[in-house]
Amino acid sequence: MSRIDKLFADLRRQKRKALMPFVTAGDPDLAFTGDVIRELDAKGCSLCEVGIPYSDPIADGPVIQASYTRALSPKNPAHKVKLRAILDMLRGVSSQVKMPLVTMVSYAIVLRYGLAKYVADAQAAGACGAIVPDLLVEEADELARICRAADFSLIQLVTPTTPRERAVRIARASTGFLYYVSVTGITGERTELPPTLVDNVAWLQTQTDLPICIGFGISQPAHVKLLAPVADGLIVGSAIVRRVAEAATQPRDAVRTGVGNYAASLLAALAGERGASAP
């Protein structure tokens, strides 16, 4: 049983849901990324997605795209992050936090690095899995085989426009959890979520035993209260990345505290849904 499998087994037994923040590695630098991960863990988040900056983002909205651009900017070579440096940062942080860490990474990066080498090195750095948003299920067999052999979760995405037969195929090819994209389009904070979202996720739950975690657009306690009854976890990205970006102009301690307090407000909403205090 992988750490992610154990996490969701424990949460289900406790009748709890996961809050899963996303952070961009290297924005504004890797030291602060580590600080933010530790802060989110201390507040009680369940799992953290660490975005590997990529020059050609797949479905990322302007907030996350901008964070990738800052992390990769050649204007400040000290901040131009490399994959090996990111893995070194994860190696240091993973031993200091309770929550599992997974990488959000383009398949182009994994392929260029080497499939088996990426899995081995990410796992050695303390990562428990990878979300590969541009990996088609038809092309996932080799990476899936390597991941299963290493007990390293390969998390894949289902979107609102994915045909149901294909959604079932993706679920069968995934391990750890299934990432359900809440909206058609790109990442970003939204005031409203699609009215069909709850029904779509409820149907998918009848097709797989995998935990289903919802991402894209979630930014408010109201979203958490709406989706907590049907989801195993809720993924929050742009709202956190936007707050981290304030480190460019604000004191870092204040920014880190602000990110933690924002996560705490979402955790309180989750706790309210189960009638208990926040973890």
Q: Is the pLDDT of residue 274 over 60?
A: no
Which residues face 214 on adjacent strands?
180, 234
Query: Residue 136: inside a domain, yes or no?
Result: yes
For residue range 179-238, list pLDDT tens digits in order.
Answer: 998 765 444 344 455 567 888 888 999 999 999 999 877 888 888 888 888 899 999 988
What's the structural domain count of the chain?
1
Instruction: Give the predicted TM-score (pTM) of the model.
Output: 0.90
Within-domain flag for 158: yes
Backbone φ/ψ region at 185: left (φ over 0), alpha (ψ -120 to 50), beta:
left
Tell me the two tokens of residue 13: 């037994």
Query: Is 73 among the domain residues?
Result: yes
Domain with 113, as residue range(s), is: 3-271
Mark 172-193 as b/e (b = at least 16 C-beta within 10 Å): ebbbbbbbbbbbeebbbbbeeb
pLDDT digits (tens, 9 = 90+) for 54-66: 887 665 667 888 9
Cite the DSSP H helix spans in the chain.
3-13, 30-43, 62-72, 83-94, 107-113, 115-124, 141-150, 164-173, 197-205, 221-227, 238-244, 252-274
The answer as to whether 277 is a domain residue is no
Which of 28-37, 123-132, 255-264, 266-275 shows the lowest per-residue confidence on average (mean pLDDT)? Answer: 266-275
Positions annotated as catalytic residues are 49, 60
Binned at pLDDT 50, 70 and 90, residue 277 comes out as very low
* In-domain check, residue 102: yes
CATH number, position 200: 3.20.20.70
Q: Is residue 215 part of a domain?
A: yes
Specify if 278 maps to a domain: no
